[in-house]
Amino acid sequence: MDRSLILGLLIFLTLLAMPFALPLIGQGYLTGLIIKAMLLAIAAISLDLLIGHGGLVSLGHAAFVALGAYAAAIALQSGIENILVLLLITLALTGFVALITGSLALRTTGVYFLMITLAFGQMAYFTLTSLAAYGGDDGLTLWSLATLFGSNVVQKGNGLYFIVLGTLLASWWFVNRMSQSRFGRVLRAARDNPERTEVMGYSVTRYRLVAYVIAAMIAGVSGLLVMQHAEFVSPALAAWQRSGDLIVVVVLGGLATRNGAILGAFFLVIVEELLGSFIHEWRLIYGPLLVFMVLFAKGGLSDLLTSKRRGNQVA
């Protein structure tokens, strides 16, 4: 087995053991922190399909997280409580929106793609702020949450934890599987040399569009879970800074690597929490840290963890 697969399995075994280990050291609150990191990781995994494998840097990905969250929240408000039905609604909406915006955005490439996805993201953001019936700028507190056939096991604590973990595992497995399939190879070929790929008979745009829609749908699912976890949705979920954070996570973790998005997400959440607990002005350290990571840790965290040269040291 290769090192990255072992690392991946280690990560998931650790996450699986956490709910049993945490009560022993007396910290229920850490669950919330880990859930936050896992939710970030799910969205980042989907974005890595676009950035890492597709070479398509989207600065509007957070909009799909927000759309997923709002779709679920609004459906919930109108009385649909089953999480599986909400899941279908979320998938349908984000998939549909991605199909339309994707087919327009994919007429461009490179930095133009980045900017047009930013444009769509901003449109989503401002649309959400205008939903006065659902809280407008202030966002919406949810007084009831999604259930699983009437059971509230998916609402809190370990139940929610395992749902999120399961979704993370599924997204991780699915995206890895996809990237190793013929689809993934075509996507990467199109990233490295679109003309040649086109000549070989593959419709580059169609492959990219499929990747874009799938990435959006996974992000939408993370949005549904964000809503379930936070019991609150707000347009801030779609802010471009959130999309920027997702890019940071993906790049920090390592592009097109098996575990990069997860490592990046946990790194970001832990660094924020750690630095924030030392000094209030933790951004004074975090900013330069990012610069140093870029200058001295090429290839991201995933590379640091799995490459033979460096051994098992986290930066």
Residue 44: how many other CB atoms lie within 10 Å: 31
Q: Of 174 and 282, which CB lies nearer to other proteins in the complex structure?
A: 282
Among 130, 151, 203, 307, binds other proteins (CB under 8 A): 130
Q: Is 126 in the site for other proteins (CB under 8 A)?
A: yes
Q: Is 254 in the site for other proteins (CB under 8 A)?
A: no
Q: Is 138 in the site for other proteins (CB under 8 A)?
A: yes
Site for other proteins in 33-62 (CB under 8 A): 33, 36, 51, 57
Least Å distance, CB 199 to other proteins, is 20
- 107 Cβ neighbours under 8 A, 6+ residues apart: none
**Binding region for other proteins (CB under 8 A) out of 71-79, 90-98, 214-222, 276-284:** 276-284
Q: Is 65 in the site for other proteins (CB under 8 A)?
A: no
Site for other proteins in 151-180 (CB under 8 A): none
Among 1, 132, 150, 192, binds other proteins (CB under 8 A): 132
DSSP-assigned letters across all residues of 174-221: HHHHHHHSHHHHHHHHHHH-HHHHHHTT--HHHHHHHHHHHHHHHHHH
Element (H, E) at 140: strand 140-141
Among 96, 162, 183, 286, binds other proteins (CB under 8 A): 286
**Binding region for other proteins (CB under 8 A) out of 3-11, 112-120, 186-194, 197-205:** 112-120
Q: Is 18 in the site for other proteins (CB under 8 A)?
A: no
Q: Which two tokens stand for residue 310?
A: 């460096």
Q: Is 95 in the site for other proteins (CB under 8 A)?
A: no
SS3 assignment, position 51: helix
- 47 Cβ neighbours under 8 A, 6+ residues apart: 58, 61, 215, 219, 246, 247, 249, 250, 261
- Measure CA 226 to chain center: 11
Site string for other proteins, 199-238 (x = CB under 8 A): ---------------------------x---xxx-x-xx-
**Cα–Cα dist 243/249, whole Å:** 10
Among 9, 28, 100, 177, binds other proteins (CB under 8 A): 28
Q: Is 112 in the site for other proteins (CB under 8 A)?
A: yes
Among 18, 74, 99, 123, binds other proteins (CB under 8 A): 123
Q: Of 78 and 296, which CB lies nearer to other proteins in the complex structure?
A: 296
